[in-house]
Amino acid sequence: CFRRYLLMSLTSCLFWNTFGFSAAVDSKPNILLFLADDLGIGDIGCYGNNSIRTPNIDRLAREGVKLTQHIAAASLCTPSRAAFLTGRYPIRSGMASSNRYRALQWNAGSGGLPANETTFARLLQQQGYTTGLIGKWHQGVNCESFNDHCHHPLNHGFDYFYGMPLTLRNNCQKIKPPDLDAALQDKLWLYSQIITLAVLTLTAGKLTDLISIRWKTIACVTLVGGLFFISWYSSYGFVQYWNCILMRNHDVTEQPMKLERTAFLILKEAISFIKRNRHGPFLLFVSFLHVHTPLFTTSKFLGKSRHGLYGDNVEEMDWMMGKILDVLDEEGLKNHTFTYFASDHGGHLEAQNGSAQLGGWNGIYKGGKGMGGWEGGIRVPGIFRWPGVLPAGTVTDEPTSLMDIYPTVVHLAGGILPRDRVIDGRNLLPLLQGRAQKSNHEFLFHYCGSYLHAVRWHQKDSGAIWKAHYMTPIFSPPGAGACYGKKNCPCFGEGVTHHDPPLLFDLSRDPSEAKPLSADTEPLFDTVIREMGRAIEEHRRTLTPVPEQLSVYNVVWKPWLQPCCGTFPFCWCDKEGDSTQIL
């Protein structure tokens, strides 16, 4: 009898472990992805911040798995999000820039996520998921005409889109100084003023007979000056209308958007999507506009935090996230939803207004947004929750990447990864469940635009995590930890230092990258550098030439590509009405 009982018990356990887990995974859970914009890893409670209130993000961490070495594939919005959506380094899709424009600048640019890139939304759509994106896109809109929508979310696997096709900027709020090409705009204003002064001087000289010049010449100079002014002011003078818009699917609904109600609209749409698709399965990607400047915050949260406007904005985002998570509870979907939270890259250190800091805090990590190699620009929060499947209250210190979301959610949906391209992400489920103790990543490559700045080597047999910097930005002022006085640190040219031999750190002992190692202080120095060099060569052999989506031509404003809810250039509308009272 005892033997029979033991055999039955073992059979039952084997059945549960083999089939019970498979049933949970094969049942196609709903997938809810939250991605913050410019949030620093040190800005939320569960990562050590005790002064900004983030109870809902903290609750997610208590109920799930927290990653401490979660790495973005790029330190700016457009390339990082391209990697997140495709599971591939942005240089593979052409979303890495070799010029100073490292992110898309205009809705009316022609660059964007290429149509031949396969997003996780496309693969989940093929598995019967209803897919939605609410919030920020920043992967382009059009290619050749104002309505071809070749880069649009609906052309990349999303069934529903509501949000901002580009990104927030100071230009979206009239009281803030413009930040789109601010230095270039200053030069253009100066040139226009010089031309105007020249025309006035020539006219006065002609009228007083002090200058011998024909009226025809003055008219030509005036015409050229006028054309010059119109050529640049028609774009930069109306950024709020061209860039600060909201769309529902293919239709522009607000132009320009009214920031005072945008957060409520985003929240309303996310809640509505979940309720409409509660019978699932669904994929909902909530891509917050928070906490990117200009940090517009509603009156409910304004002045409530201990960290000024930035803290207010973080707390408002946490509240929005809590409202969405509450809907999962109300609809009985919590245990059947795979939930994820992260930031697209580190906090923006150079975002300041006088002495007020308008960007995030990256904790103990050096650097921030725009710095492709330093940890502060690429190490981000990463939290997963799936009650009953992922162990609650777990912390994982292994190296992981935002690119890992791609194979992970495709696996959960029962899909198959594309076999005609390199996928750089790795399925995280075994690590998240504790069935694997080590990350599947051996090397991670840290690009700044299209320039390789650093490499990380996870030496699994020793537990060491080596990181070599081949280029680093030159901070200003020296030793400041950021490039103050500039919008972001540069990736190339005179603004970077080349290191030969590279700067080497062991992140397992020195996560702040404060003490570079050398051949004198580290016996393995030469071996590690040699192994990383070999990995770089292998990595580069996997790269194939592709069109650069962020070339200067692709990012400049093209009026014939401008999304418009009227007849161009008369683009203004408000199809939302009074939509602020929703909760």
Are 337 and 435 in a shared domain?
yes
The CA-based dihedral angle spanning residues 208, 210, 212, 214, taken in that order and rounded to the nearest 10 degrees? -30
Domain boundary among 238, 259, 281: 238
Are 217 and 314 in a shared domain?
no
Can you read off the two tokens belonging to residue 198?
A: 């020249």
Distance CA 75, CA 77 (A): 7
Are 116 and 65 in a shared domain?
yes
Amino acid at 394: T
Which helix (H) or strand (E) segment holds residue 90: the answer is: helix 90-93
Are 233 and 271 in a shared domain?
no
Are 51 and 73 in a shared domain?
yes
Query: Which carries the bigger pLDDT value, residue 3 or residue 242?
Result: 242
Average pLDDT over residues 467-472: 98
Residue 150 has a CB neighbour count (10 Å cut-off) of 17
Task: From 544, 577, 552, 564, select the one nearest 92 (Cα to Cα).
Answer: 544
The verdict on residue 393 lying in a domain is yes
pLDDT computed for residue 182 by the predictor: 81
Please work out, in degrees rounded to the nearest 5, the angle formed at the alpha carbon of residue 87 by the alpha carbons of 263 and 279: 55
Whether the bond into 55 is cis, omega within 30 of 0: no
**Does the structure show a pLDDT above 70 at 190?**
yes
**Does the structure show a pLDDT above 90 at 144?**
yes
CATH number of the domain enclosing 300: 3.40.720.10
Burial-class residue 456 by CB neighbours within 10 Å (0-12, 13-18, 19+): buried
**Does the structure show a pLDDT above 50 at 76?**
yes
Burial state string for 312-332 with b = 16 or more CB within 10 A and e = fewer than 16 = bbbbbbbbbbebbbebbeebe
User: In the chain, count of helices (H) and strands (E)?
Assistant: 16, 18
pLDDT computed for residue 175 by the predictor: 79
pLDDT computed for residue 578 by the predictor: 62
Are 193 and 317 in a shared domain?
no
Are 276 and 297 in a shared domain?
yes
**Does the structure show a pLDDT above 90 at 265?**
yes
The verdict on residue 13 lying in a domain is no
What range does the domain containing 250 cover? Answer: 32-168+244-441+553-561
Q: Which range has the worst mean pLDDT, 172-181, 385-394, 406-415, 520-529?
A: 172-181
Can you read off the two tokens belonging to residue 139?
A: 């992967």
Are 215 and 344 in a shared domain?
no
For the chain, percent of residues with pLDDT exceeding 90:
86
Matching residue, tokens 């070799």: 98
Are 157 and 189 in a shared domain?
no
> What's the domain count of the chain?
2
Are 49 and 107 in a shared domain?
yes
pLDDT computed for residue 580 by the predictor: 52
Q: How far is CA 225 from the centre of its chain?
A: 39
Pair 548, 555: CB distance under 8 Å: no
pLDDT computed for residue 401 by the predictor: 98
Query: Which carries the bigger pLDDT value, residue 367 or residue 24?
Result: 367
Pair 292, 168: CB distance under 8 Å: yes
pLDDT tens profile 391-428: 999 999 999 999 999 999 999 999 999 999 999 999 99
pLDDT tens profile 10-44: 443 433 344 344 444 448 999 999 999 999 999 99
Can you read off the two tokens belonging to residue 326?
A: 């509450």
The verdict on residue 493 lying in a domain is no
Please work out, in degrees rounded to the nearest 5, the angle formed at the alpha carbon of residue 244 by the alpha carbons of 130 and 273: 20
Distances in Å between the Cα of 156 and the Cα atoms of 131, 239, 396, 514 are 10, 26, 32, 42
Pair 25, 412: CB distance under 8 Å: yes
Burial-class residue 373 by CB neighbours within 10 Å (0-12, 13-18, 19+): buried
pLDDT tens profile 546-580: 999 999 999 999 999 999 998 999 999 999 876 55
The verdict on residue 222 lying in a domain is yes
The single-letter DSSP state of residue 476 is B
Are 160 and 209 in a shared domain?
no
Task: From 38, 9, 117, 88, select the one nearest 542 (Cα to Cα).
Answer: 88
Are 160 and 192 in a shared domain?
no
Distance CA 231, CA 531 (A): 52
Phi, psi of 143 (to 5 degrees): -115, -55
Describe the chain by its helix, strand, coil percentages, rounded to 5: 35, 20, 45
Domain boundary among 193, 210, 238: 238
State the average pLDDT for the chain: 93
Query: Which carries the bigger pLDDT value, residue 182 or residue 391?
Result: 391
Active site residues: 77, 138
**Does the structure show a pLDDT above 50 at 443?**
yes
